Chain A
Amino acid sequence: MDLFDPSSGEQVHDFNADIADNGLFWTIQIPDSALTVSKNLKTASLHLENVQIIDSFTFLGEHSVPATVSFDITWVGSGARHHYKPGSSDPTDPTNFNGKFRNAVATGSFSGSNADGFSFTSDPGASSAGVFAEIGIEKNGSFIS
């Protein structure tokens, strides 16, 4: 979750789940109850409160402080499903997965604070419209080899 100074364009906060010792990037386990998915896989909602992460201030910034974020996100998929089949057997290739996704629009509200006393709340209207979002199912690694 990145905040930028609107005047200079410089990044001033980077709220993220940190990189684990095994290299897992910005990914943490969350309660199963935080995520609700419709049976037809066309909509989903994610609600999390007071998640303990860090603020590294810039992307991969070397200095970080403890931080907390809360957010609500809703995905609404539309159109046909795209079936992405593995484009390579190289496990490091970005197409090495099998997925069925619909394009989507996601909207959300976010808030956070860090140990320095900084806090923020997103303004209404935050959305993926005009950028990119998707919702679906996928397999990778040993599930496709």
Chain B
Amino acid sequence: MRARSSMPLVVGLAVAIALVLPGAAMAVDATPKPIPGGIQIPGGPLIHVFAPGPEDQGFMGENVEPNTITDFNGFSAMAYIVGTATDADGNTYNMVNDMRVYRGTYVSEDGSILHGTFGFI
């Protein structure tokens, strides 16, 4: 996919239309698309996320998609971070955080080829 050659064209067209028709500026929908697959919650929704990690720890295996965004090309990192936390009253909790981050080129909902950084929280 020739992402770099398409971006200037998209921007150029948006500027041209905005100049000719001031009230018709082209808005780009930058929303990423979710991965089409995911985990089917029993009796509930399909959530567009997988759980990579060692199968002997209850995860889906390491050769499993860590991204929640489809049509993506770039950097990706994830971690299951565990520990404890304390609230303002001094109560302690067990803490489990599934944290992921993605940076790269992606095709947004309206077909625009964009670049962005995204956090999975």
Q: List residues of A whose CB falls within 8 A of some B CB.
A: 1-6, 9, 12-13, 15-17, 19-20, 22-32, 34-35, 37, 41, 44, 46, 48, 51, 53, 60, 69, 71, 73, 75, 82, 84, 87, 90-97, 99, 101, 103-104, 106-108, 110, 118-123, 125-128, 130-143
Stretch touching chain A among B10-18, B20-28, B42-50: B42-50
* B101 CB to nearest A CB, Å: 5
**Complex Cα gap A97–B50 (Å):** 12
Q: Which single member of A13, A32, A135, A137 contacts B117 (CB below 8 Å)? A: A32
**Complex Cα gap A31–B101 (Å):** 11
Q: List 7 A-B contacts (CB under 8 A).
A: A4-B95, A9-B94, A26-B49, A29-B118, A60-B45, A71-B99, A106-B79
Q: List residues of B whose CB falls within 8 A of some A CB.
A: 1, 30-38, 41, 44-45, 47-50, 52-54, 57, 59-88, 92-97, 99-103, 107, 109, 116-121
Tell me the dominant secondary structure on chain B's binding face: strand
What residue in chain B is nearest A123 (Cβ atoms)? B84
| Inter-subunit contact A132/B53 (CB<8 Å) | yes
